[in-house]
């Protein structure tokens, strides 16, 4: 799907902006959302002659890569802050949250690895097909399907003792 004009790109932008925005909002700090969405569409503009026929999975994959790049930068900044803290900073802040004895879906979700969360989110929140989600992650459809199955099992294991795992229909879709 080669885009030859600004009007054609505007049509793609309008058709997919809300989806990309929701995708990024679920994964990024609110202060970074606009920058990441902007970088995603800037990449799409630069590669407009190479966009696939259905650009939505490609846009999600690009947004995901932009997010990963931003997270790496954030981890570097955190590492610097930790080093500064070790050398005379105020250590009165305790970033650990009080744990709740009750296991619910949110707590189970938070215990999942970032990889499991991403695999499940592409399926449940974004509503992507296995093939589209595999495109976002840069793997084969079979590999994505296997990852999805394993992620579901891990979530069910964390959430299962309450007997509520089977009451989450969106995960069994």
pLDDT digits (tens, 9 = 90+) for 44-103: 999 988 999 999 999 999 999 999 888 776 666 665 555 555 555 444 444 333 333 334
Q: Which long-range contacts does 6-10 make (Cβ < 8 Å, 24+ apart)? A: 9/44, 9/45, 9/48
**pLDDT score of 109:** 78
Residue 127: DSSP 8-state = -
Structure tokens at 147: 């990852």
Cα separation, 125 vs 171, whole angstroms: 10
Mean predicted lDDT score pLDDT of the chain? 79
Cα-trace Rg, the chain: 19
Q: What secondary structure does DSSP assign to 18-68, as a single string?
A: HHHHHHHHTTS-TTTHHHHHHHHHHHHHHTGGG--SSHHHHHHHHHHHHHH
Whether residue 36 has pLDDT greater than 90: yes
Q: Could you tell me the CA-to-CA distances from 24 to 54, 62, 88, 131 in Å, in that order?
A: 19, 11, 36, 20
**pLDDT score of 29:** 87
Compute the average pLDDT of residues 96-123: 70
- What is the SS3 string spanning 64-102? HHHHHHHHHHHHHHHHHHHHHHHCCCCCCCCCCCCCCCC
- pLDDT level of residue 111 (50, 70, 90 thresholds): confident
Whether residue 159 has pLDDT greater than 80: no
Query: Percent of the chain at pLDDT above 90?
Result: 43
- Residue pair 120/133 in contact (Cβ under 8 Å)? The answer is no
Whether residue 165 has pLDDT greater than 70: no
Q: Which residue has the higher pLDDT, 113 or 163?
A: 113
Compute the average pLDDT of residues 118-135: 89
Burial code of 66-95, b = ≥16 C-beta within 10 A, e = fewer? bbeebeeeeeeeeeeeeeeeeeeeeeeeee
- pLDDT level of residue 42 (50, 70, 90 thresholds): very high
């Amino acid at each position: 799907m080669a885009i030859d004009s600004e009007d054609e790109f505007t049509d793609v932008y309008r058709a997919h902006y809300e989806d990309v925005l929701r995708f990024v909002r679920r994964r990024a700090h609110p202060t970074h959302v606009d920058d990441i969405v902007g970088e995603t569409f800037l990449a799409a503009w630069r590669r407009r002659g190479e966009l696939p026929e259905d650009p939505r999975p490609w846009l999600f994959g690009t947004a995901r890569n932009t997010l990963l790049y931003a997270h790496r930068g954030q981890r570097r900044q955190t590492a610097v802050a930790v080093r500064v803290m070790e050398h005379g900073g105020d250590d009165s802040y305790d970033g650990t949250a009080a744990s709740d004895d009750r296991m619910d879906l949110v707590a189970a979700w938070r215990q999942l690895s970032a990889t499991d969360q991403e695999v499940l989110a592409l399926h449940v929140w974004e509503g992507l097909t296995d093939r589209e989600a595999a495109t976002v992650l840069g793997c084969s459809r079979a590999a994505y399907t296997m990852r999805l199955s394993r992620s579901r099992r891990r979530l069910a294991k964390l959430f299962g003792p309450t007997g509520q795992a089977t009451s989450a229909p969106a995960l069994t879709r």
